Structure 1
Amino acid sequence: MKNIIFKKHTGSRLILLFLVLVSTSVVSCKKYLDAKPNQQQVVPSNLQDLQVLLDNVLVMNRSFPSIGEAAADNYYVTITDYNALVTVEDKSLYLWQPNGIIPNGQWLAPYQVVYYANQILESLEQISPTPTVQSQQIKGAALFFRAYAFLQLASIFSKPYNVQTADNDLGIPIRLTADFNPISVRSTNQQTYDRIVSDFKEAVPLLPQSSVYPSQPTRIAAYAVLARTYLAMGQYSMAGAYADSCLNLQPELINFNILSTTSANPIARFNKETLFYAMSGGSTLLVPSRCKMDSTLYSSYGTNDLRKTIYFKNNNNGSYAFKGNYDGSQSATIFSGLATDEIYLIRAECYARAGQTANALTDLNTLLQTRWKAGTFVPLQATDSNTALTLILSERRKELIFRALRWTDLRRLNQEADFKITVKRNLGSTLYQLPPKDLRYEFLIPQEVITTSGIPQNPR
């Protein structure tokens, strides 16, 4: 197994610790909710050991779910490519089959992050009972990672947050200990989001404002993800406030005019917009040679909109592939971290929903000015906040394509009469549809997890 670490650590014991914990957690990951840990594994004994665990990018940053993006409406596959898919999981996911099988890793990999975070938090109490700057930063990072994993899980395995029903809707299991023995139960959606928000808020004062390593959580990233969380919850005043806190500290945007439109990977990994580096685990549906952009969406980009050539590659057969990955690569894994452009769009949306049309358009045009060919951009205008909101949501979809956000947006916007849509796929001569608020917006929990843990399955 290849391990990606951004910070250099020395010492044979630390190397052994790292390899043992990575290997044992990957193996035991299959039963995170019911298996017992190996009592013989090396136990962290100092702060440096804990930092090694946090810096395991392969586990902590690069294994988040991809099924939401694979089920979303930004792309299509041809019937030939569909028939060539190897697994029944991918075929059923693409067509939103009600009883489609979900790969175990989509559930287990985020819970592996939770396990690491809980192990770090518990070890920290023994290693550093008296808080120090380093121990507090480690605690903040562990809380951030745990909440980030919970948020990813809640976005696909529980219902969209609705304040009127959250106390009764099923959420996800909230594991707060590295001990495998306590029986898992599904919390309510309210309890799920309360924990996510609580962890992020507790992390804010503990984290450094910034870091040399984009894989490490920071205070700026915590503000950003709180804005994202509150947006998903429909609490727009709070989302706007945290977006503002983030942008006050880091407002930089990439000027797309300096990027190469002919480059295979025009947007660099760890670019200046990256607030927190995270990646999905990948999906064969999203392989660039198979995944073709929705033609209506592609046509919505203006002629002088540089995203049309920065984000997309002409397949020379009437279709286009995505190449604008914020990871600086073309692959089935997509960037699911935090970036400044998302936060501008969050603040703009929240301004519009609050009736602050001028502020909303200022944020939107600030972003778009960097995306259009120099000298061609004409600032967007709106006579009222509802028109501004429609413009912002349209640009949000175009800007944040393949960021593991579209599924969450569909879920939350389907609760609003003005923005709900029926998602459609044409495969051969057959039309498949996913109506608003359909139960299929909550994916089935992998059957192995249901069998071994006894938690209730999502209804169908």
Structure 2
Amino acid sequence: MKLSKIGFFFLGILGLSSCDNYLDITPTGSQLVSSTQDFYELVAWPNRAYPINNFQYLVDDQWMKESNVIGVTPNINTINFLFQDDADRVSRLNSSSMYNQTYKYIGQWNNIISLVDESTGDADLKQLAKAEAKIFRAFDHFLLVNVYAKAYDASTAATDGGICIMDKYDLEAIPTKSTVQKVYDFIQQDIDEAIPYLQETPGNVYHPSLAFAWAFKAKVHLFKREIAEAKTAAQKALSYNDNLLDMVALAAQGGPTVVNVPAASNPEVLSYMYMTGYNEMNFGYSYIISPELTNMFKSADDKRFTLFFNTTNNSLQDAAAGTSYYSMTYTRFFFPTVGIKTPELYLMLAECYAREDNFAEAISTLNILRKTRIAGDAATLSVPSTRKEAMELVINERRKELPFGFHRFFDLKRLNIESDYQKTIERKFPIVSQAVPQETYTLAPNSRMYIIPFPLDVMEKNPNIRLNTDEVVPF
């Protein structure tokens, strides 16, 4: 059995059938893939990217420059930013890089899982390659189901429309859409089958570690509100990697402009993946945070804000609106935006303690993180007396620690299932311009906007795939 690495890559794309686009590309050049080592190396995919442009403004943390909204022909960004849930989203989503790329990665994981046993090499390495591919396959299905389907709700998951489960390398497959419950069952099966064979220290940073796998397991349980299991998994992950970067000490040394923290030097990173690519955070105009989040940071000398955000430059934002934007080049500091990092482990663990009414332990866990972000007494939170108060502290800390990528979008979706934590987002806009009257736009907790439509090109190819909302498909 021999495949070319380039040919292997494109077989993975074609193997997605109607869940992805067919690409009319003929690979040129080849390098034979015949050994188990070759397959193992194919698990490592540097610069793996998950674009969030179809939903990045459906949150309370992101903002747009007013000139990019006022007088502009409506597009998916403006519709999302103004929470226009009666607008036609479907016809504006002809294709989706998020959808296509994620299933492309799944195609590669399936190829490895299906074909590595036929390769020449060590049996343990074959098992390792399959385990690593499975944990990434589970992660990619997790992202897809949380973008294109309803958040997990145990009372309805068995009937809620989900996504296509792609569990094998099959060029002839015409997949059908599974329920949210079946997708989560598949994700958890992959995780549990993978963990026994993964390594604490993989061959390089692009291979998944045991810390990442246990952290991901914790996240899946947390999203299902399986709190005891989530807590155990988070603690297990921290036993492998509990490193936090001391931003207070970094600031005292002059910050990342003096002491650079590139990707390889950031001890918090558990998985190297991106929204767009290595240099994604260089584009400040894409990463403007809202007045609400900006004000949350200003309550203390929070190094997560003072080291990395600009409040005064008016060329990329409307500074008078009270917004701010990320302004640190990626070569000086690597800011993980998607995937998982160790601070999220502390936040997940704190949430588990809060949900178990162990408020002292929840706040102690938050304070461990905060003391690496905030100098002095302001870092120490007091212990609240109710679960709702403790959860509010955890949620607020998640917003400040995880401001980009999928995090807030996913958090809003999962928390909106629970009446105690659901939120109606209000956005007053514009704040500076007087070209149009200011209005208040709202996004209800049960809005269908939280479920992103499948792209039209995917639905055209496969009649088995239809929207998980009541929006109209134009064919």
For normalisation by structure 2, the TM-score amounts to 0.83
Cα RMSD for the two superposed structures: 3.3
Structure 1 residues 344-353 or 286-295, which shifts more?
Answer: 286-295
Shift of 1:53: 1.9
Cα distance in structure 2, aligned partners of 1:136 and 1:66 = 36
Cα distance in structure 2, aligned partners of 1:442 and 1:64 = 16
Question: What secondary structure, in the 3-state scheme, does the structure 2 residue paired with 1:71 have?
Answer: coil
Change (3 A) 1:414 1:266: farther
Shift of 1:105: 1.2
Any conservation in 1 of the 2:362–2:390 contact (CA below 8 Å)?
A: yes
Question: What secondary structure, in the 3-state scheme, does the structure 2 residue paired with 1:244 have?
Answer: helix
Cα distance in structure 2, aligned partners of 1:134 and 1:234 = 35
Alignment of 1:34-433 (within 5 A): 35=22, 44-58=33-47, 61-63=48-50, 65-82=52-69, 88-97=75-84, 98-100=87-89, 101-102=92-93, 103-127=95-119, 132-211=123-202, 213-260=204-251, 263=256, 268-270=262-264, 271-281=266-276, 287-301=283-297, 302-316=299-313, 317-318=319-320, 319-323=323-327, 335-374=337-376, 377-428=379-430, 429-433=438-442
Change (3 A) 1:311 1:85: farther
Question: What secondary structure, in the 3-state scheme, does the structure 2 residue paired with 1:273 have?
Answer: coil
Structure 1 residues 284-293 or 359-368, which shifts more?
Answer: 284-293
Change (3 A) 1:358 1:434: same
Give 2:172's aligned amino acid. N
Out of 420, 434, 444, the position equivalent to 2:453 is 444
Cα distance in structure 2, aligned partners of 1:334 and 1:349 = 21
Shift of 1:80: 0.4
Structure 1 residues 244-253 or 152-161, which shifts more?
Answer: 244-253
Give 2:269's aligned amino acid. T
Change (3 A) 1:145 1:313: same
Question: What secondary structure, in the 3-state scheme, does the structure 2 residue paired with 1:338 have?
Answer: coil
Shift of 1:91: 3.2
User: 1:417-445: per-residue Cα shift (whole Å, max 9, x none)?
Assistant: 22111123344434332100211111000
Any conservation in 1 of the 2:300–2:374 contact (CA below 8 Å)?
A: no
Change (3 A) 1:284 1:346: closer
Question: What secondary structure, in the 3-state scheme, does the structure 1 residue paired with 2:106 have?
Answer: helix
Cα distance in structure 2, aligned partners of 1:118 and 1:66 = 26
Cα distance in structure 1, aligned partners of 2:379 and 2:186 = 43
Shift of 1:365: 0.9
> Which runs of no fewer than 5 residues in structure 1 stay unpaired?
1-13
The alignment covers a number of residue pairs equal to 441
Give 1:144's aligned amino acid. I
Give 2:271's aligned amino acid. F
Shift of 1:39: 11
Change (3 A) 1:359 1:378: closer
Out of 464, 467, 473, the position equivalent to 1:457 is 467
Structure 1 residues 24-33 or 447-456, which shifts more?
Answer: 24-33
Any conservation in 2 of the 1:122–1:177 contact (CA below 8 Å)?
A: yes
Question: What secondary structure, in the 3-state scheme, does the structure 2 residue paired with 1:150 have?
Answer: helix
Question: What secondary structure, in the 3-state scheme, does the structure 2 residue paired with 1:210 have?
Answer: coil
Shift of 1:214: 2.4
Any conservation in 2 of the 1:227–1:243 contact (CA below 8 Å)?
A: yes
Cα distance in structure 2, aligned partners of 1:76 and 1:192 = 32
Q: Which residue of 1 aligns with 2:433?
A: none
Any conservation in 1 of the 2:359–2:383 contact (CA below 8 Å)?
A: no
Change (3 A) 1:184 1:373: same
Q: Which residue of 1 aligns with 2:434?
A: none
Give 1:91's aligned amino acid. T
Any conservation in 2 of the 1:66–1:281 contact (CA below 8 Å)?
A: no
Shift of 1:274: 0.8
Any conservation in 1 of the 2:20–2:99 contact (CA below 8 Å)?
A: no
Shift of 1:191: 0.2
Change (3 A) 1:172 1:374: same
Structure 1 residues 301-310 or 39-48, which shifts more?
Answer: 39-48
Shift of 1:67: 3.5
Question: What secondary structure, in the 3-state scheme, does the structure 1 residue paired with 2:379 have?
Answer: coil
